[in-house]
Every structure is written in structure tokens, then in C-alpha cells.
Chain A
């Protein structure tokens, strides 16, 4: 079975400071990893994904994420946070070797609050 843990319910950061939203995963094989963002009363918006290759993945709106296989982590980062980044962030995983559905398994989400 595949699973995702987002250990922080909320992350608070001041505008202009770097931010990190943590994610760890568990799969039996190799993972495909995704980050999505959700604004209030909206669907999920794709930010970035790791498939293979470079461990540092760059995505939309200046976000990036670092895949660490030994720590089974895929933390989301941004060098300089904006107030408009305040939203709910979800990490998701899919096991490459499941051989069946391409369904995603999501974490419980981390609320990012960026203040002036």
C-alpha cells in the first residue's frame, strides 16, 4: 500500500522568508510524487512532480521540491514566500509498480500562512 505523511498541519512564515512544507511517503516500489495547492472552495492546482532524474524539481510560481530517496521525502520549498502563497498544500504519491490504477494517494494537507 502507498501512503503519504504531512507532519505539519500548519506552517507560518513571514513574507520574503524561505518556506518548506514537509512530505514523506511510503511505497513498495518506486514513487511518482506530486504537489498540489488548493485555494478556498477551489479544486486542486498542480504545482510540480517528480518522475525520475534530477532530485530537485522546479515547478509553478517559484516552487521547487527535493526528492530524497534515502529519507523517503519530497519537501516543497520556495526561496521567498509571498502572502498570495497562503493556501492548503497537498503532497501525493503513486507507486510506479502497482500495475493497476494510476490513482493518487494524498496526505492530509498542510496549511501555509504567509504574513506581512
Chain B
């Protein structure tokens, strides 16, 4: 399967703990995105990378959140000192940058986080 993969698929943690999620994009894709989806809502943009550079971060991304893409391949999203409000589905997507910007983002299966 050459689609976007995410690990773990599910994570249950206690409030105050740190968690880290991993995303492996489609191999030739140079852009990688993180979104958050809460129940009854559409995905909301968090941040994106072009190769290893983090080019934009949403105001949703508090200083407890950090994302990396060290070699321009896989990416990690870490949440420090988790809060119950962080409970959500975290979606990763990747795309191949196009000159006109019309590229399609392909999504992974998501990591569902539950903070107790």
C-alpha cells in the first residue's frame, strides 16, 4: 500500500502526559499537512511542511504542540502536557507541490486521541 500511513491509530493518555504521533506520506510527495478533526466538525488545518521546512502554523497550534519533518520524509506531531480539549482525530495528508497550487491532498487514516 503506497498511501499515507499514521501511527498509532488510537491513543489513550492521561491529562498532563506527552504524546507523539507519526505520519509517513506518499513517498514522492514533498508537502505534508496536519489537521485536527473534532466530533461533528470538518478537519481544521494545523500546520504544513514543504520538504523539511515548516511553512505555516495555525493559531490553533498552541505552544504545547510541535511538529517536525527532519529529513523531508516522515513527520511527527507532539503534544506536551495534554489536556482533555486535545481529544480529537489527528489527520495527516500529503501532496506533490504543483506550480499552480492545484494539487490534491491525500489523507491518512488518522490517529484518534483520547485524553482522560
Contact = CB atoms under 8 A, between A and B. Distances in A.
Interface of A: 4, 32, 34, 36, 41-46, 49, 51, 90, 92, 94, 96, 100-109
24 contacts: A4-B42, A32-B102, A34-B105, A36-B107, A41-B112, A43-B4, A43-B109, A43-B110, A44-B93, A44-B107, A46-B104, A94-B101, A96-B100, A100-B55, A100-B56, A102-B105, A103-B45, A103-B48, A103-B58, A104-B43, A104-B45, A108-B41, A108-B42, A109-B42
A46 B95 CA distance: 12
B104 A101 contact: no
A102 B43 contact: no
Given A102-B101, A105-B45, A106-B43, A43 B112 contact: no
B102 A49 contact: yes
A81 to B, nearest CB: 22
A96 B101 contact: yes
A102 B100 CA distance: 10
Nearest to A94: B101
A92 B106 CA distance: 13
Contacts of B104: 34, 46, 49
Interface of B: 4, 6, 31, 33, 40-45, 48, 55-56, 58, 91, 93, 95, 97, 100-110, 112
Contact of A46 (B40, B58, B106): B106
Contacts of B110: 42-43
A94 to B, nearest CB: 7
A44 B37 CA distance: 11
A46 B42 CA distance: 14
Contacts of B40: 108-109
A91 to B, nearest CB: 8
Nearest to B31: A102
Contacts of B56: 100-101, 103
Interface centre among A104, A105, A107 (most CB of B within 10 A): A104
B103 A43 contact: no
Contact of A44 (B31, B45, B91, B103): B91
A53 to B, nearest CB: 11
